[in-house]
Structure 1
Amino acid sequence: MSEFKKNPAQVLRTAGEKPVAVLSHNRPAFYMVTPRLCESLVEEMANGDLDGLERQRLAVKDTAVEVGLEQL
């Protein structure tokens, strides 16, 4: 935490695109990521949610109703 408080921007620059764990008493106090990495993580989580939804729908595909494009 002490090193981070001195120059947080330098810590982030040194890490590049890798996440930084800021420790307090040798335990993670928080994690710092670049905006680019944060966006990537959010996308991954959204895709994971969609994968789960897809699996749920495939599990009940026997009850699905076929629809043509003109009906959408």
Structure 2
Amino acid sequence: MQIIRPILADNTTSISELKKNPMAVVEQADGFPVAVLNRNKPEFYCVPADAYEAMLDKLEDIELTQLVKERLEQDEVEVSLDDL
């Protein structure tokens, strides 16, 4: 059974084109991810450093938001400054 995967990028290239000139592929995508296809199926995504860093920042924000929501439900513990 063949698995069909969606292409999750507006820009695509073949592995052959990526091998020929990787920087040209990245520059043509204008800062956006590029789906690298093998036999018309996405094999991996080439993500520029700025986009990757922004993605990691957003993931961290999501994790921190979840942590804050979990801690809002916890009982408060009173501490004096002298105990610190």
User: Please, what TM-score do these two structures have when normalized by structure 1?
Assistant: 0.81
Paired residue type of 1:65: V
Which has a greater percent of helix?
1
Q: CA RMSD in A?
A: 1.6
Q: What residue in structure 1 maps to residue 76 of structure 2?
A: 64
Identity %: 39
18, 21, 25: which one aligns with 1:4: 18
Structure 1 residue runs of 4+, over 3 Å off?
none
- How far apart in 1 are the matches of 2:33 and 2:60? 19
**Structure with higher RCO (Cα < 8 A, 6+ apart):** 2
- How far apart in 1 are the matches of 2:69 and 2:47? 31
2:77 partner SS: coil
User: Please, what TM-score do these two structures have when normalized by structure 2?
Assistant: 0.71
Paired residue type of 1:48: I
Q: What residue in structure 2 maps to residue 26 of structure 1?
A: 40
Q: Does 1:47 align with 2:58?
A: no
Shift of 1:33: 1.2
Shift of 1:59: 2.2
Q: Does 1:35 align with 2:52?
A: no
Structure 2: gaps spanning 5 or more residues? 1-14
Shift of 1:27: 1.4
